[in-house]
Amino acid sequence: MAREFRLPDIGEGLTEAEIVRWLVAEGEHVDADQPVVEVETDKAVVEIPSPYAGTVMSHGGAEGDVIQVGQVLLTIGQGDETAKRPGDEQEASTRPEITLEPETMPKAEPQAEPRAEPQAEPQPEPIVGTLGGESELLIQPEETTSAVPAAVKALPIVRKLARDRGVDLATVEGSGPGGRVTREDVEAAAASEETEAPAPEPAPPSAGETASAAAAPAGPAGHDERRPMSRLRRTIAANMAKSWSEIPHVTTFDDVDATRLLEVRRALGDRHGVKIPIEALVIRAVVPALDAFPEFNATVDGDDLVLHEARDIGIAVDTPDGLLVAVIRDAGRKSVLDLAREVRSLGEGARERRLGPDQLSGQTFTVSNIGAVGGGHGTPIVPASTTAILSVGMARMRPIVYDDDLAIAAVMPLSLSYDHRVVDGAQGRRFMAMVLENLEEPALFLAS
């Protein structure tokens, strides 16, 4: 008996998803809880498992198709049941009807009245499945993905890059885990092909072409290119527009003497043999300020302000595919070393597109380390459903005045944007003053 499996709502208000890759072909057997398809949501690619065991009778769409939540994802038959092919019903109607009777039952005399048609068995109600397994992040193109041999291991974004650069993935040796082809492998293969195939020399122009070119006015050398935005970039654009249109932003700037902070960072790294991300120390310095000023760890809900108990701190991660915000849950209860491990893990997962939707949403405050790419002061946009974001710039050696004496110190720029509906300017300065005090003397937050 065939069963329909419909696209499940995997959370975060999902309404639709794009089919990236079918993992089980039509006609193949599938076990319960076996991943059958990869679908791309706004931020992640998710492997969806089958809730049934049986034979895949039909797919609900082709790779590249967008399907809605609740729409049939695939149909699974039990046992040896297979999908009906065109002409099966016509063929069945031409076959003679054969009735098998048990040997122990006496043969009945033919009846004059017509035999009643058998009633169709009621079909079970289709269910919406549950999500399991890990997910990856990526950018999926608008067009349907072209066929690539199943033996080639590569993420969809790498496959798109290979198509764009004209690289045959079957000829590329993967350097990633398990032989996976990486972005760098494709770039290297494309560069090698460009080196081996020099551009042909242009044919000399005819006399007529020369005269025509001389008479024509000089125009632009190239032409405009229309490039569709990826699903991830469209999501970022929608979120930025929503935040900017709904939240009245105020940004306050300051500089902090990061001498002690950087000394503590080096000492902790030397003692424990690990590199301490600056975000881990900034988060620990911010948590006491969030405790003292809970309006900065809140959400505006209509005419109410929801003050969050947990300190779920988002960290902005610069990835090849765009800006993502990974979330450290309950950061207020974690040590600097715990935070350092999570910052590294989430950063790597975001760049490698391995984080799930629950790791990319739900922050109550955000820290953005723009200094990682050489930034200084800025005007960060407050993420929707939060009230503030702190941007940290790169610490540089600059002159600074202490008690009328001029000194050279590592100065780190800070930019705090907040929702002016919730936070007034005086409150914003008090919050920033406490963060500055903690960063200048790390003992104040390390002891808490």
Determine contact, residues 238/383, Cβ cutoff 8 Å: no
CATH number at residue 189: 4.10.320.10
Instruction: Tell me, yes or no, if 249 is annotated catalytic.
Output: no
Does residue 221 carry a pLDDT above 90? no
Residues 253 and 186 both lie in one domain? no
CATH number at residue 132: 2.40.50.100
Residues 312 and 414 both lie in one domain? yes
Strands 313-319 and 365-369: parallel
Does residue 309 carry a pLDDT above 90? yes
Mean pLDDT value of segment 145-152: 50
Model confidence, pTM: 0.61
Residues 162 and 132 both lie in one domain? no
Which residue among the candidates 249, 308, 377, 420 is catalytic per the annotation? Answer: 420
Mean pLDDT value of segment 314-334: 93
| Residues contacting 40, CB < 8 A, separation 6+ | 17, 18, 20, 46, 138, 140, 156, 231
Determine contact, residues 35/21, Cβ cutoff 8 Å: no
380-408 residue pLDDT tens: 999 999 999 999 999 999 998 888 889 99
Amino acid, single-letter form, for residue 42: D
Residues 302 and 441 both lie in one domain? yes
- HSE-CB for 26 with a 13 A CA cutoff: 13
Amino acid, single-letter form, for residue 322: G
Q: In which band, very low, low, confident or very high, does the pLDDT at 78 lie, cut at 50, 70 and 90? A: confident
Burial of 437 (0-12, 13-18, 19+ CB in 10 A): middle
Q: How many domains does the chain have?
A: 3
Does residue 256 carry a pLDDT above 90? yes
Residue 100 lies in a domain: no
**Domain with 171 in it:** 156-196
CATH number at residue 293: 3.30.559.10
Residues 288 and 395 both lie in one domain? yes
Chain-centre distance for alpha carbon 169: 24
> CA-CA distance, 291 to 438, in Å (whole number)?
13
